[in-house]
Amino acid sequence: DSGVTQTPKHLITATGQRVTLRCSPRSGDLSVYWYQQSLDQGLQFLIQYYNGEERAKGNILERFSAQQFPDLHSELNLSSLELGDSALYFCASSTGTGGIGELFFGEGSRLTVL
């Protein structure tokens, strides 16, 4: 158990819909990262938050947004869903902010868009 909790584990929805994925980092970790993993793809970085503020942005679509709340949990919002958004979305947390040190991953949220 990594200490990172993600919900829901599985989600099936239709094109055009909106979903919210939730992540609770390990106790004490201030950084939260979101990654997308599609079939036969690596882990594509989406966005990072540190202590409530956006720290870095990757190739995140404009239809996607995220935030980190004062209690440090984070939510990833995906809207106007397309078939190609079907993927495994991982949240990871770490103690620091500079990309140095172990990333602790949650179990992931598997999104299927029909």
User: Which residues sit at the interface with another protein, rule CB under 8 A?
Assistant: 2, 33, 35, 41-45, 48, 55-56, 58, 90, 97-103, 105-108
Taking the complex as a whole, the smallest distance from the CB of residue 38 to another protein amounts, in Å, to 11
**Least distance in angstroms from the C-beta of 13 to another protein:** 21
DSSP letter (8 states) at residue 9: S
Tell the smallest beta-carbon distance from residue 15 to another protein (Å): 25
Q: How far is CA 66 from CA 40, 91, 102, in A?
A: 25, 11, 22
For residues 11 and 79, which CB has a smaller minimum distance to another protein in the complex? 11
Q: What is the CA 24 to chain-centroid distance, rounded?
A: 10
For another protein, the closer CB: 14 or 27: 27
Of 25, 28, 32, nearest to 46 by C-alpha is: 32
- DSSP 8-state code for residue 59: S
72 or 91: CB nearest another protein: 91
Is residue 113 within 8 Å of residue 85, measured between CB atoms?
A: yes
Residue among 14 and 98 whose Cβ is closer to another protein: 98
